[in-house]
Amino acid sequence: MRIRNCTKSRICFACNIDDDDEEDDDDDVKKIHPSPPPPPQFSSTSSLTQGEIRDPCGLNKHLKVKFRDVLAEPISTHSYDRVWVYSSIGFESARLWGYRCLTALCALPLSCLCGGLFALLACMYIWCVMPCIQVFHICLPCVRSLWMSVVNIFIAPFCTSVARCGSGIYMWITCY
């Protein structure tokens, strides 16, 4: 493979692509391989033990964080390969076991609290909000007719007289 200087090639990806028209072979393109994947027991896409999908609607897609999404080393600075692999394993295991420990401590109390909150909201909506809305729907035609009477008796004559007073005013705009 021939490596050209960045200033001489038309397209340069890390100065490894020879974009000459003389040789257009796919073998000339150096493929950059990503960091080695973590072991399967620590991967972010772990298989479910019971085969159930716990997020069928995809509410928490933004929480699927992988090691490469958080930590990355540029090409110019690399640590030792073993350090990188062990860091990946450490990140994935800390994320996995930290989540498991926190959910073991907090999941039951928080789920009871959320269940109670949603039960309270449902009760308030069913027994307070909807009956009030229905009462308003029943009373609104009466209030509407009363409001229309008030507008026609007091406000409409005033607006009509102001309109008649203003109808005799004419303006001429002249340019000097």
With a cut of 80, say whether residue 143 has pLDDT above it: yes
29 closest CA partner among 44, 39, 15, 42: 15
**pLDDT one-digit tens code per residue, 2-24:** 444 444 444 444 444 444 444 44
- Distance between CA atoms of 22 and 24, rounded to whole angstroms? 7
Higher pLDDT, 150 or 7: 150
Alpha-carbon distances, residue 130 vs 135, 144, 159 (angstroms): 9, 21, 38
Residue 133, helix vs strand vs coil: helix
Mean pLDDT, rounded, for 150-166: 93
Q: What pLDDT was estimated at residue 169? A: 85
